[in-house]
Structure 1
Amino acid sequence: MKIANERVIKLPNSTHLVNTTVGPILVNCPPETLKYILAKGLETPQIILLPPDIAPGQELGSSGFVHHGINYASVEFLLYANFFGKNRNARIITPTANQAERLNRLLEETFTGPPRLEQYGDFGWLKDECQAAGYFPPLKRAPNHDDLCIISSLEENGGDLGNGVTVELNRDHYRIFEDEQLVATVSTQIQGTPRPLTLAPARPLLRHELTLQFIGGSDGFDPAGITTCFLAYLSKDVQVQATLFDTAAYLRMRLGNLGLSTRQISEVVISHLHEDHLAGLPELLLMGEQRHKMRLLTSEVIYHSLLRVLSAMLDISEEDVAALMEYHPLNPGQPIELEGRRFESLYAVHTIPTIAVRANGLYYSGDMRYDENWFEELVQQGVLTPERKEQLIHFAEGAEVLVQDAGGGAIHTTVTPELLEALAAKGQRVILAHTSQDELSEEQAAHWAGRIEFASSGHISGMGDEILEDVTTEVLETIEACPLFARLPLEDLQKLTDEVEVISKTDREVIIADGEASDGNTYIVHSGLVEIFSHEESVMVVGRGSSIGERGALEGWMRTNTVVARGDVQLLCMDRAVFARVADQLGLLEAFERTDWLWRQTIFRDLLWSTMLDLALDFQPRLLTAGESLFNVGELAHEIYLLKSGRIKIFDKERNLIDIMSEPGTFFGGRGALYNTLRNASAKAAQDSQVWALPLPALQRLQMVYPHILMHLRAVEG
């Protein structure tokens, strides 16, 4: 272990370690923080200070513990490392009592599952089974989160950490003292684009009748690996998008590095709610751009647990969480079909409710200790019925490919010669996942060549005949992945595929330089990642389907940002003449002024300019004279409004004044449209004013394409 001499060690993603006489103190805790600490050889911190909440509606894609889709209270694996690795409790400190209460609720669900028996519905036996799977001999029961950590708040419990060390929150900084002497001041603010420790290497994807592409295949402790998460192409039709199984952290960047966009995901299957399988879901729901509202498949027990987890994480209602997704129940014994793909599930044996899934020729175990001898022991103990044991043994039979948890230990599958024989007998190919191991013994490798693989990051496995996908189709998919250009009719999109030029850039090569005269070109990222800088500060990293350069092309002025390739990148280049035609067709010049105004509003500061251009197309400016009515109580709500200038008075049903909207950039009047209710208030211009109306069809599109803006609107109206 490295002994750190520095008082404050800066880690990635706005995270710091402060060395004190009570040991290192961690400030902020985004996903994979433990991996960063292990990679640097630093001591595992026992004390974790979490940042203040981000109020709902304050920033797009941010609420509660979550900033731009990333949960900065991702403490689960640090708790494991302290309890199982150091034989001690972690101490988590939040600024407020409300945060401490929510974190307790969140961890209760993710450590032991739904707390009440009635929350298991017809699967009440599952609660006892999870407890048996998590049995920890020193405790003579399964541990819960209270065994692993102590959660307190500065608001209720103060900041005395013992041994003369105290902590206080001063606005947006933690101040840490030793014997009343200030030794460190650390910002709680979260800045820049969060980045993972590792990215999966991009490899050519040759589609087969069944193709798996692994973003990761490791566990939550492996600094060199990415947690198990993969895309499955389950159809012979190349137009059918991928199914995502579980969600690794920093998902958008990891997808982008593989040349993929969130718009290419058809649905997400969540096996269970442990952090290493769930960390990327908030980002996908809040920051991903979709063709439709994200479809989520899991069992009803897990789904309702997920609503409670995300409600606590985001500090919003379960109803508002549910509005972010399109849920499809995937209960055991109740198969479902989506566009020719058949999904069925079975509860696996794990410490919290977990489903194993069959999807066409694929079997995915989720997290499960697959051990037929252990199953028999559980039958003898009365935990499993003989029928349940047979279901567990036979569920995977006949699959073309099995993706099997092989993490080892008490709650995961241990790889043995007997296990390999049993799994190989069930299907044509076995892929071992959830493990940092990446090879069998020399003898086993020779015996199982072509039958057993390891799910390393970037690994691709194909079954059946190869499906040819031409370059034109790939280009079309990229253009369609950009919401702005996806507005075009299909025949115009197809025409664009012949007019754009595919160009390549190498790592760190400049694509656009701040201050240079615009050449009129617009670019769409086709594969890889690009980084955008403003005044030499990195502001975001974007991937496939993100378009850049429209502003310079529209106004013909100097470029206002620098854009640089991160790794090898392919771009679709649209020259001045082609983009001018598209701009004329979509009315982009008419929306330019609205876009520039949106760009200056704080709430939109972290969006691509092309995203704001896309939004601006849907806003309809409306001028109101003083005293003019905008809407009335009891009317059907078919619009939501953004204040551009002036003042708007809001009255309740008794005509009492309840609010005056005067801050430009404020949304209002959307409750009826968002919640499908009649208006419960009236609005009238207090002076000559301008509002921008967002009609219901545009609002419905917003729910699909920009879920983070939808959450903002619901927070404002809630």
Structure 2
Amino acid sequence: MPTMITNRVLCLPNDMYVVMTAAGDVLVNSPPESLKFLLAHGLTPPRYVVLPPDAPPGSEPGSHGFVYRGINYASVEFLIYANFFGQQQKITLITPTIAQAQRLQVLLRETINGPTAPDEWPGPWLQRECAAVAFFPPLGRAPTIDDMMTIVNLESGGGDLGQVQITYDGSNFTFTENGTEIARIPTTITAVAHPLTVAPPRPLLRQAITLQFIGGSDGFDPTGITTCFLAYFGNRQPLLFDAAAYLNVRLAHLGLSPRQIDLVIISHLHEDHIAGLPELILTGGKRVQLVTASTIYRSLLRVLSEMLDLTPATVAELFDFYPLEPGQPLELNGYQFIATYAVHSVPTIAVKVNGIGYSGDMRYDEVWLEHLHQIGHLSAERLDELRRFADGVELLVHDMGGGAIHTTPSAQLLRTLSARSRRLILAHTSRQHLDVTADIADRVEIAVSGHIVGAGDIVRDDEHRQRFETLTICPIFARLTASARSKLAQQCTVRNFSTGSVIAHEGEASDGCAYVIHQGIVEIVVGGEPVRLLGRGHSLGERGALIGEPRTSTLVAHSDVQLLQITPELFAFVADQLGLRAAFARAEWLWLKSTLGQLPWATLLDLALDFTPHPIAAGDVLCQRGEVGTYGYLLISGRLHFSGETSGESEQSGHCFGMRSALRGEPYRLTVRALTEGMVWSIDSTALQRLYLMYPDLLLHWQTIDR
């Protein structure tokens, strides 16, 4: 049945719909920051939320479960809070299937109340602290998800809202009111996800320590971005503290690529602190190195497992984890980390690293902490540990926010915290001004989006190094030697485009140049429809530069943009060095005939460089069960027979096999024999390791479709 959008439907960005019914407003789809979008449009958060069906496994890289292109469309935590604490009512979450409802319950129980099993906590003392923070007077205890929500599913009749019925036919959600159809909403996620707000780019003069805030507000503020910041030490690649939603786009607006991030530090698992983490892990273009406590890590695996509908073991393969246990210093990549369990409603760490302190939503109130000590919730040693959590740091980032579970600012508190460091930066608050007494006014500031704080000597930078770094984070050009990249950085030129200007038109002749985004965001439009946003380090125009073909898409400057222009002569040298012309046909095949066709063409060209074509004849054995895998394969043409744990035949082009065995150095699980002549492409274990580091979304995709 076709979609039917009536005057009973409000269409919002990011495939969000609000259907106005006799039972009340119903939100269809809930991507990150749904609450902010609703508030920005003057809407009261609905008490009913319908979530989309799972993304079909293998349909596109980075899609699985509730996640589409790295974005979680079951991002409902703040809608729950807005209903329960703001409107004193339970929210009803509606999933298409029973299995989704069960997964959503596990996910939310973990993020809102912490680990279910007592042995998953570091000790009962932390459970007592979290319960004390989350204490809700009307209930006389901390609320549970059963107090705050009802989770139902359409498969079991959960779409019956009295006068209103919601049904699901595989393509649409149909709304019927008193027997009359009032709306039919598509279940397909098609829009390119955009954040409501981005941090304005500001000149970044690096010092010995520099903090750059992507956001410094809370989950209820439609004008601000939740707390998330980058920490630079000299000219080193930055560390990322927590992960705001729509992170890739927000980084690009600051002239950064996710590939430039060194380590990611996660304080806790509330949605406003991890909403951008699935996107970063799956589509950031670089394997994430994650630092947090083991308790939080194990919870994260369970949360991502339910979100992606994968086993925790499979999720663990998507990124690297480095345990930062409170009380046990961690030395990593030249940094020394020290952590303390913060006082919050779920397990949370406050972190110190090389002169920076971050409190991570800690409720810091010395009078209240003393009270907890007096009633036996805090030992004397624990009380002393909390009082000293930030001693000796240069810059202290402290999440505020007020209420029961965050720090409430007061003149005395600010004076106490400012004494802990040389500079106190207040975050997690929508307040632009606080009453700061004159004696500490020069040491206290509020982190708004784009805010920059520095300490120590200025570190000089130059344009050549920045161009070299841009080429280095571009997968194709990163294949060149460092000296070749340095020379290319000197020889290329910079072209500037203002926001909204068209860089190239679909169908127009190529100028023979290749380009790499140096600053800003480029929107790719095909047939008048936006298909993706690309930021720093993405290359453009290779097809035209290689074969002179007209443009296959329109390129629009989504912000002010700088492109590195590589002339035809320079690109010809690169093409010869890397063998790009030989890989062109393979990239075309991936684009036109595989499920990877939604990736940028430059990514497909990079992948094609690692595949080697092999003609096969009937009877050829490609994999022998029990032998250690050294190659993975992609079937291009012909028919294969699989035998072993499972048996069967395949002539589906694009079929993968042996990838996981070759990546892990494990024995093949199946024997694969050619039944007819045909063609396969092979990829060796070394190339697979490179993909493992650069394209976690492809790893997930191939694990889904690999035999």
Q: TM-score, normalised to structure 2's length? A: 0.98
| SS of equivalent to 2:595 | helix
Alignment partners' CA distance in 2, 1:322 and 1:279: 18
Offset at residue 602 of structure 1 (A) = 4.8
Offset at residue 613 of structure 1 (A) = 0.3
Matched-pair contact (CA < 8 Å) for 1:505–1:570: yes
Alignment partners' CA distance in 2, 1:192 and 1:88: 31
Q: Deviations over 1:425-481 (max 9, x none)?
A: 11100000000012224xx37543431111100001010011001111111111111
Offset at residue 407 of structure 1 (A) = 0.6
Match of 1:701 in 2: 690
Q: Following TM superposition, where does structure 1 have runs of at least 4 consecutive aligned residues deviating by more than 4 angstroms? A: none
Q: Deviations over 1:665-711 (max 9, x none)?
A: 12122232244421121011111111111110111011111110001
Alignment partners' CA distance in 1, 2:380 and 2:527: 66
Offset at residue 153 of structure 1 (A) = 1.0
Matching residue's letter, 2:402: G
Match of 1:295 in 2: 289
Match of 1:480 in 2: 472
Instruction: Find 1:257's aligned residue among 253, 256, 263.
Output: 253
| SS of equivalent to 1:320 | helix
Match of 1:552 in 2: 544
Offset at residue 192 of structure 1 (A) = 2.5
Compute the RMSD of aligned alpha carbons.
1.3
Matching residue's letter, 1:265: I
Q: Deviations over 1:249-281 (max 9, x none)?
A: 000000001000011100100000000001000
Matches within 5 A, 1:137-152: 137-152=137-152
Match of 1:324 in 2: 318
Instruction: Find 2:387's aligned residue among 387, 390, 393.
Output: 393
| SS of equivalent to 1:603 | coil
Alignment partners' CA distance in 1, 2:504 and 2:77: 41
Instruction: Find 1:614's aligned residue among 585, 592, 606.
Output: 606
Alignment partners' CA distance in 1, 2:632 and 2:146: 45
Alignment partners' CA distance in 1, 2:594 and 2:201: 35
Match of 1:513 in 2: 505
| SS of equivalent to 1:591 | helix
Alignment partners' CA distance in 1, 2:264 and 2:554: 34
Match of 1:432 in 2: 426
Alignment partners' CA distance in 2, 1:659 and 1:125: 55
Offset at residue 43 of structure 1 (A) = 2.2
| SS of equivalent to 1:91 | strand
Q: Deviations over 1:92-125 (max 9, x none)?
A: 01111110010010001001100111112x4332
| SS of equivalent to 1:414 | coil
Alignment partners' CA distance in 2, 1:182 and 1:352: 43
Matches within 5 A, 1:199-598: 199-233=198-232, 235-236=233-234, 238=235, 240-290=236-286, 293-441=287-435, 444=436, 446-598=438-590
Q: Deviations over 1:343-391 (max 9, x none)?
A: 1100000000000000110000001111000000111121111111111
Match of 2:671 in 1: 682
Matched-pair contact (CA < 8 Å) for 1:648–1:689: no
Which structure 1 residue ranges, 5 or more long, are not aligned?
A: none
Match of 1:49 in 2: 50
Alignment partners' CA distance in 2, 1:232 and 1:606: 33
Match of 1:190 in 2: 189
Match of 2:659 in 1: 670
Which structure 2 residue ranges, 5 or more long, are not aligned?
A: 1-5
Alignment partners' CA distance in 1, 2:244 and 2:348: 16
| SS of equivalent to 1:597 | helix
Offset at residue 146 of structure 1 (A) = 1.2
Offset at residue 215 of structure 1 (A) = 0.3
Alignment partners' CA distance in 1, 2:334 and 2:621: 51
| SS of equivalent to 1:450 | helix
Offset at residue 126 of structure 1 (A) = 1.1
Q: Deviations over 1:185-238 (max 9, x none)?
A: 0011101310000010001111100000000000001000000000001x33x1
Alignment partners' CA distance in 2, 1:55 and 1:715: 10
Offset at residue 717 of structure 1 (A) = 3.6
Change (3 A) 1:717 1:604: closer
Alignment partners' CA distance in 1, 2:594 and 2:227: 36
Alignment partners' CA distance in 2, 1:671 and 1:495: 38
Alignment partners' CA distance in 1, 2:227 and 2:625: 51
Alignment partners' CA distance in 1, 2:593 and 2:369: 59
Offset at residue 557 of structure 1 (A) = 2.2
Matched-pair contact (CA < 8 Å) for 1:56–1:316: no
Matching residue's letter, 1:586: L
Match of 1:63 in 2: 64
Identical aligned pairs, as a percentage?
A: 51
Match of 2:3 in 1: none
Matched-pair contact (CA < 8 Å) for 1:439–1:445: no
Alignment partners' CA distance in 2, 1:674 and 1:173: 39
Q: Is 2:641 the counterpart of 1:649?
A: yes
Matching residue's letter, 2:513: N
Offset at residue 158 of structure 1 (A) = 3.9
Q: TM-score, normalised to structure 1's length? A: 0.96
Offset at residue 58 of structure 1 (A) = 2.4
Change (3 A) 1:113 1:79: same
Matches within 5 A, 1:26-105: 26-105=27-106
Alignment partners' CA distance in 1, 2:197 and 2:469: 26
Matched-pair contact (CA < 8 Å) for 2:524–2:533: yes
Offset at residue 502 of structure 1 (A) = 1.4
Matched-pair contact (CA < 8 Å) for 1:61–1:69: yes
Alignment partners' CA distance in 2, 1:550 and 1:35: 39
Matched-pair contact (CA < 8 Å) for 2:411–2:437: no
